[in-house]
Structure 1
Amino acid sequence: MVNKIEVDLNALTHNVAIIKKHIYPETKIIGVVKANAYGHGLVETARVIWTSGVDILATATLEEAIALRVSRIKAPILVLGYVEPSEFWKAIDFDITLTIFDFESAYKLAREAKKQNRWARIDVAVDTGMNRYGFPTYEVLDIFQKIYKLEHLKIEGIHSHFADPEDKEFSRNQIKQMQNVLFSFQQMKIPIPMVHMAATKAIFLHPEAQFDAVRPGIGLYGYSGIEGNSELKPALELKSQIVALRRVGKDETVGYQRTYVAKGPRKIAVIPLGYADGYPRALSNKASVLVNGTRAKIAGIVSMNAIMVDVTGIKCSLNDEVVLIGGQGNGMVNADELAKLAQSNVCEILSRLPREIPREYHFK
Structure 2
Amino acid sequence: MTEKSAWLEINLRTLARNTRLILEALGEDVVLMAVVKSNAYGHGLIRSALTIWSAGAQWLCVNSVAEGVELRHAGMKAPILVMGYVPPAEIPYLISENLDVALFDLNFARLLQAEALRQRKPVYVHIKLDTGMHRLGVLPENFFEFLEGLEAFPALKIRALYSHLAYPEDQQFTLKQINTLKEVLFNCQRRNLFFPMVHLLNSRGTFLYPEARFDAVRMGRSIYGLDKFIDTQPALQFKTRIVQVKTIQKGEKVGYDCTFETKRRTTLAVIAVGYADGYPRALSNKGEVLIAGRRCPIIGRVCMNMSMVDVSDLTILPKPGQEVVLLGTMARSQITASELANWAATSDYEIITRLSSSLPRVYIE
TM-score of the superposed pair, with normalisation by structure 1? 0.97
Partner residue, 2:148: 145
Q: Aligned partners of 1:175, 1:145: CA distance in 2, in Å?
A: 24
Deviation at 1:145, TM superposition (A): 3.3
C-alpha RMSD over aligned residues: 1.2
Q: Aligned partners of 1:318, 1:294: CA distance in 2, in Å?
A: 17
Contact kept, 8 Å, 1:22 with 1:204, in 2: the verdict is no
Which consecutive unaligned segments of at least 5 residues does structure 2 have?
A: none
- Encode CA deviations 1:182-217: one digit per residue, 9 max, x unaligned: 111111111212110100110111112211000001
- Whether 1:110 and 2:147 are equivalent positions in the alignment is no
How is 1:161-176 mapped onto 2 (pairs within 5 angstroms)? 161-176=164-179
Partner residue, 1:251: 251
Partner residue, 1:63: 66
Deviation at 1:99, TM superposition (A): 0.7
Contact kept, 8 Å, 1:22 with 1:203, in 2: the verdict is no
For 2:342, the aligned partner's letter is K
Contact kept, 8 Å, 2:103 with 2:126, in 1: the verdict is yes
Of 105-114 and 168-177, deviating more is 105-114
Contact kept, 8 Å, 1:141 with 1:181, in 2: the verdict is no
- Encode CA deviations 1:72-92: one digit per residue, 9 max, x unaligned: 111111001010122111111
Partner residue, 2:327: 325
Partner residue, 2:313: 313
- Whether 1:222 and 2:229 are equivalent positions in the alignment is no
- Encode CA deviations 1:197-241: one digit per residue, 9 max, x unaligned: 1001101111122110000011110012xxx64622000000010
For 1:199, the aligned partner's letter is N
Deviation at 1:106, TM superposition (A): 1.0
How is 1:176-191 mapped onto 2 (pairs within 5 angstroms)? 176-191=179-194
Deviation at 1:142, TM superposition (A): 2.5
TM-score of the superposed pair, with normalisation by structure 2? 0.96
Of 142-151 and 59-68, deviating more is 142-151
Partner residue, 2:236: 236
How is 1:292-311 mapped onto 2 (pairs within 5 angstroms)? 292-311=292-311
How is 1:1-364 mapped onto 2 (pairs within 5 angstroms)? 1-224=4-227, 229=229, 231-314=231-314, 315=316, 316-363=318-365
For 1:175, the aligned partner's letter is I
Deviation at 1:149, TM superposition (A): 4.4
Contact kept, 8 Å, 1:141 with 1:184, in 2: the verdict is no
Q: Aligned partners of 1:147, 1:346: CA distance in 2, in Å?
A: 39
Q: Aligned partners of 1:167, 1:22: CA distance in 2, in Å?
A: 23
Which consecutive unaligned segments of at least 5 residues does structure 1 have?
A: none
Q: Aligned partners of 2:154, 2:336: CA distance in 1, in Å?
A: 50
4+ residue runs of structure 1 moved beyond 3 angstroms?
none
% same residue: 39
Counterparts in 2 of 1:23 and 1:230: CA distance versus 1, 3 Å: closer
Q: Aligned partners of 1:284, 1:51: CA distance in 2, in Å?
A: 40
